[in-house]
Amino acid sequence: MNKYDELKKEYRDLANFVSACFLTNRPAEEVFADVEIFAVSCSMRLWGAVGLYSQDYRDALFAITGKRYSMEQILTAISRAGDTDRYVRTPDFFKKLVEKDLRDGTNTSRDFLEMLNRFLVSVAFINGDFPMEEANAATEIIERLQSYSAGQGLASAPLSFLPSARITPLYEESYVRKADKPKPDAPAPKDAPPPGKTGAGNAPGSAGSSGTANTNILDILNRLRLDFTLELPKSGADPDFTPTPAKDNERRTTQSETTPAEQEPVKPAEDERTLEQLLEELDSLVGLDTVKRDVHSLLNFIKVTKLRTERGMKVPVVSYHLVFTGNPGTGKTTVARLVAQIYYKMGILPKGQLVETDRSALVAGYVGQTAIKTQAVIKEAMGGVLFIDEAYSLAGGSDDSFGKESVETILKAMEDHRDSLVVVVAGYDELMHKFINSNPGLASRFNKYFHFPDYTGEEMLRIFARFCGSNGYNMDDDDTVALLERFSALYEVREEHFGNARLVRNVFEKAIQGQADRLADYADVSDHDLAALTRSDLDAAMGITDEDNVGG
């Protein structure tokens, strides 16, 4: 049996097994078509991991689908599928197999994975080698399906046939040239069957037949849930969400056409600032004297450590991860952004962006998916700072397996990416100390604490004055004194959820709304009227704020 016959047999076994297990009234041709889409997508994922083209790929695809594709078409598909940000989605028929196992106590989904393992090895080995890049892609596909099964409550036993058993070196002589992202609208091959034909005389529903009229491999990659043009789910998204497929006459989004939010993080405008300018901005923040000293002290330590390294002297192990403690609205996020940029300017981080997140964006509803969700956020933060607000919520107690899973995933990323990821955790003082002490891994990695004190009445007034100045408002001196007294009184009676700068912002926004309500009935409004915040505006704002203490 030659390698193409072996591949065709592995695919036929896969398709026939799914068709036999499928317990719905769907036509057999549709079931075969879904399996074909999945099989081709997996093949592109494996070949795309290497990014090289082999002549064997055309014959391999013919063995699976009964169709002929041009080198240009296959190269285009490989270039898309090779993007590490993309993956093969869990197909609906596999979800049905899992449902059957849960309902009937069978092992059909595991048996499918056994056959899929064999099929993936045959796909990878079609050109004579099975390099590590393809092995990792195969493992990614299998583990994703296993993770879905586990998330549904189905225990998974180890597979008896693993791709790692046949991993070989990469023999580049078996490839033609690199897939350098040719145009995605490559013409159909001359020897492809005409639309409506399955090719090679295969009858609809037989192994090697798609049961559909598609003759372009890009159509397969752009169909339904197995679309390589789809990005990884964003924080908080369901990783198995299936978007509505694009209609044939709609312009599909390719990798080069993604929106800025979907592309590799772009260096923010803050990168234009020098280190000196960043430090000046830090020092210009209202209050936070102890925080400023701590940041400057940390930078001094980094500078001296760099000097010792340059001169070949011993240096201690340095941890750049930080714990920010304090009430809401004390500037923790603002300082974290500056620290991210400062780390970038000092060569600690390769990019310097800040990704802000919390428990809701890290934890999923069931074990297995939490790690995937957390990894997606970590990937977004790679090269910069991952800022986790209210991080203590990840330590919800002894029965919080989801939070623990997220913490362990973060700790592993901190260990594996020491030179490209800094994590800053933030929250209330006492809760953050309990959180760090809840896990030895956290305690060993987070040893620098920055405390953000509440703003005094005078500092709150300075923040309010900045809001006024940057938005073109002003107050009389008497009103300024009255506002200082009110802020000072709020500071004296503050509680755990004191709002600090958030409270000040709310007061400002309510004051300008009060001004708008007051001026709405004026017959003639002067520039002075439009700029002035009066006692009545401020009293109305402070009265509302005082009632519910705004901040929180």
pLDDT (tens place) for every residue of the chain, 552 residues total: 788 888 999 899 888 888 888 655 567 777 888 888 899 989 988 888 887 888 889 899 999 988 888 777 787 778 777 766 667 888 888 988 998 889 888 889 988 998 998 899 899 888 888 888 888 888 888 888 988 888 888 876 666 655 555 677 777 777 765 544 444 444 444 443 333 333 333 333 333 333 333 345 555 444 423 333 322 223 333 333 232 233 333 322 223 333 233 333 334 444 578 888 899 999 999 999 999 998 888 888 888 888 888 888 887 777 899 999 998 889 999 999 999 999 998 888 988 899 999 888 888 766 567 888 888 899 999 999 999 999 998 886 666 678 888 898 899 999 888 889 999 999 998 899 888 988 888 888 898 899 999 999 999 999 999 999 989 999 988 888 988 988 898 888 888 778 888 889 989 998 998 899 888 888 888 888 899 998 888 888 877 444 444 443
Q: Amino acid identity, residue 274?
A: T
Task: Classify 388 as helix, strand or coil.
Answer: strand
pLDDT in the model for residue 218 = 52
Q: Do residues 528 and 473 touch, judged by C-beta distance below 8 A?
A: no
What whole-number distance in Å separates Cα of residue 505 and Cα of residue 508? 5
Tell me the pLDDT tens digit for each residue of 204-252.
333 333 333 334 555 544 442 333 332 222 333 333 323 223 333 332 2
pLDDT in the model for residue 458 = 92
Of the candidates 179, 215, 188, 186, the one whose C-alpha atom is nearest the C-alpha of residue 200 is 215
pLDDT in the model for residue 204 = 32
Show the tokens assigned to 221: 């990659």
What whole-number distance in Å separates Cα of residue 19 and Cα of residue 25? 11
pLDDT in the model for residue 245 = 31
pLDDT in the model for residue 226 = 34
Chain mean pLDDT for the chain: 76
pLDDT in the model for residue 426 = 93
pLDDT in the model for residue 84 = 63
pLDDT in the model for residue 155 = 77
- Residue labelled with tokens 């703003």: 455
Show the tokens assigned to 278: 């960043």
pLDDT in the model for residue 550 = 41
What whole-number distance in Å separates Cα of residue 381 and Cα of residue 267? 12
pLDDT in the model for residue 540 = 82
What whole-number distance in Å separates Cα of residue 427 and Cα of residue 497? 11
- Reduced to 3 DSSP states, what percent helix, strand and coil does the chain have, rounded to the nearest 5? 55, 5, 40
Of the candidates 126, 166, 171, the one whose C-alpha atom is nearest the C-alpha of residue 6 is 126
Q: Do residues 424 and 418 touch, judged by C-beta distance below 8 A?
A: no
The distance of Cα 550 from the centroid of its chain, to the nearest Å, equals: 32
What's the per-residue H, E or C state across 428-475? CHHHHHHHHHCCHHHHHHCCCEEEECCCCHHHHHHHHHHHHHHHCCEC
The distance of Cα 466 from the centroid of its chain, to the nearest Å, equals: 35
What whole-number distance in Å separates Cα of residue 123 and Cα of residue 82? 15
Type and span of the H or E element at 423: strand 422-427
Size of the chain in residues? 552
Domains of the chain: 3-230 (no CATH), 269-452 (3.40.50.300), 457-548 (1.10.8.60)
